Amino acid sequence: MSQTDQPVFDLANGYELRPWCLDDAKVLADSCQDADVQHWNRPGRLSLDDARDRIVRWEKRWRTDKAAIWAIAEPGGGSPVGLIGLADFDLDGGSAEFLYWLLPAGRGRGAMVDAIVRVSRWALEDLGLHRLRITHSVANAASCRVAEKAGFALEGTMRSALLHSDGWHDEHLHARVQGDAWPW
């Protein structure tokens, strides 16, 4: 990863995955105002400066093999409608974990399933990772369906694993490993 620029991927539904840039800082800061993103992803409150710092940090994390974070946006410099990324990279151990969210403008058209499959193909086939994880609160039915549709088998439930604003939630663990069938 550190030797190459972060790739740009076209998605089937008209969006592309591209690295975040400083011009996206306002969208990133505003995304924290979305009630669903705030509840499920727990990004905290970000000022414009915080958002800029975070985007700079993501670029460093790509360069240091720690994470790969993309904006989901209309091609040609469109404003982001979501985020997808892999974090908790363990290149030696061959694993990483997804994080993702969509703003309301990006929801309802299958963009996240498509994005997860695209990033998974890159991580497993090009980067050579062995196992990718998705975890989400058991109460987040949309995220659970997205994980299933992207071909991430449900492996179990981790009890009281994630602290949300309304208390501790049990969490589903989904994963895809090398050799699992692709949904398309």
Ligand X SMILES: CC(C)(COP(=O)(O)OP(=O)(O)OC[C@H]1O[C@@H](n2cnc3c(N)ncnc32)[C@H](O)[C@@H]1OP(=O)(O)O)[C@@H](O)C(=O)NCCC(=O)NCCS
Question: What are the residues binding ligand X (CB under 6 A)?
Answer: 36-37, 40-41, 100-102, 107-108, 110-113, 136, 140-143, 145-146, 149
Tell me the backbone φ, ψ of residue 149, rounded to 5 degrees: -65, -30
Q: At closest approach, how far in Å is the CB of 99 from ligand X? A: 7
Residue 151 CB-density burial (10 A; 0-12 exposed, 13-18 middle, 19+ buried): middle
Residue holding tokens 């995955």? 17
Q: At closest approach, how far in Å is the CB of 55 from ligand X? A: 19
- What's the token pair of residue 18? 């591209």
Q: Choose between 91 and 141: whose C-beta lies nearer to ligand X.
A: 141
Q: At closest approach, how far in Å is the CB of 87 from ligand X? A: 12
Q: Choose between 167 and 179: whose C-beta lies nearer to ligand X.
A: 167
Q: Are 116 and 146 in contact (CB under 8 A)?
A: yes
Q: What is the C-alpha separation between 110 and 115, in angstroms, rounded?
A: 9
Q: At closest approach, how far in Å is the CB of 39 from ligand X? A: 7
Q: At closest approach, how far in Å is the CB of 82 from ligand X? A: 7
In order, the DSSP letters of 26-88 are HHHHHHTTSHHHHHHH------HHHHHHHHHHHHHHHHTTS-EEEEEE-TTTPPEEEEEEEEE
- What's the token pair of residue 123? 């991580």
